[in-house]
Amino acid sequence: MTTLRPRFWETVPPEKMTHAEWEALCDGCGKCCLNKLEDEDTGVVVLTRVACRLLDDATCRCSQYPIRHQFVPECIVLKPGNMEQNLYWMPETCAYKLLWNREPLFSWHPLISGDPDSVHRAGVSVQGMTVPEYEIDEDDWEDHIIEEPV
């Protein structure tokens, strides 16, 4: 088991974090795995409840995380070096985005609460509200636009 430095997110710059620390920033909300629609004129990005086919709706985690690119080559690997170009579509509650903006983590974040289910109990995850992308025609995604749970 990998040990994380105490409150590392407050003292360690992202580029100096260990792989385990970087991965631990993910709160498991599942919002990054929702398909998004972007208005071509305004650049506004909205969430749909249409999830990547690999998202486990019960856990809000990728069912094939270590090998996800074999199934979804376009899945973005978030790294300190590509944060800036990905901020525009990231969830408002995302720890990676919060750290980039020098904002604190929410009290429900598992690193703060010590409980991986706190994100679900706080109502900020997409647990139980998604539909797999293979069940919805892409032309109908607009019918599944949702507000971000915050």
Residue-wise pLDDT for 72-84, tens only, equals 999 999 999 999 9
> How crowded is residue 128: how many other Cβ atoms within 10 Å of its Cβ?
9
Written as tens digits, the pLDDT of the chain (150 aa) is 568 999 999 999 999 999 999 999 999 999 999 999 999 999 899 999 999 999 999 999 999 999 999 999 999 999 999 999 999 999 999 999 999 999 999 999 999 999 999 999 999 999 999 999 999 999 999 999 999 887
Instruction: Please answer whether residues 36 and 47 qualify as being in contact, where contact means their C-beta atoms are separated by less than 8 angstroms.
Output: yes
* pTM for the full predicted model: 0.92
> How crowded is residue 56: how many other Cβ atoms within 10 Å of its Cβ?
16
Instruction: Please answer whether residues 60 and 7 qualify as being in contact, where contact means their C-beta atoms are separated by less than 8 angstroms.
Output: no
Q: Which residue has the tokens 């509650």?
A: 93
Instruction: Please answer whether residues 92 and 148 qualify as being in contact, where contact means their C-beta atoms are separated by less than 8 angstroms.
Output: yes
